[in-house]
């Protein structure tokens, strides 16, 4: 008799544990979707834009590196670039370290 009472009490909970598992699964899937659209996808888009930017670089472009160095490209290779940062100073950097073109500098000529 006690076993029968316990079986009746457990049967409503058996269905709720399956639905709780389904709710947790749906929550996990939604969380992964949010993670993808807020973090992964924008990072992929930014990386693609940076790769396109690097492929369009040419000699004479005035650029800024990720280290904050401002210079003019004098040589360009597949993986490296040589920047002229002063009249007699040239440095070799990895091409991927270039992050942007210099903003227009009115009234200043190199």
Domain assignment present for residue 110? The answer is no
Mean pLDDT in runs of 10 for the chain (110 residues)? Answer: 50 69 94 93 95 95 95 94 95 96 63
Are residues 48 and 12 part of one domain?
Answer: yes
Query: In which domain, by residue range, is 52 found?
Result: 1-56
Q: How many domains does the chain have?
A: 2
| Confidence at residue 109, expressed as pLDDT on a 0 to 100 scale | 47
In a domain, 108, yes or no: no
Question: 52 and 2 in one domain?
Answer: yes
State the alpha helices, DSSP H only, in the chain.
Answer: 2-35, 41-55
pTM (predicted TM-score): 0.66
Q: What's the N-to-C CA distance of the chain in angstroms?
A: 97
């Amino acid at each position: 008799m006690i076993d029968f009472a316990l079986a009746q009490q457990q049967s409503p909970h058996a269905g709720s544990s399956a639905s709780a598992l389904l709710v947790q699964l749906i929550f996990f899937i939604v969380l992964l979707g949010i993670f993808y659209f807020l973090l992964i996808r924008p990072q992929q888009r930014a990386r693609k834009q940076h790769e396109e930017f690097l492929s369009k670089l040419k000699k004479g472009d005035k650029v800024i590196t990720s280290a904050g160095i401002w210079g003019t490209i004098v040589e360009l290779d597949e993986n490296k670039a040589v920047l002229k940062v002063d009249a007699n100073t040239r440095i070799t950097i990895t091409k991927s370290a270039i992050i942007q073109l210099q903003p227009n500098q009115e009234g200043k000529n190199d």
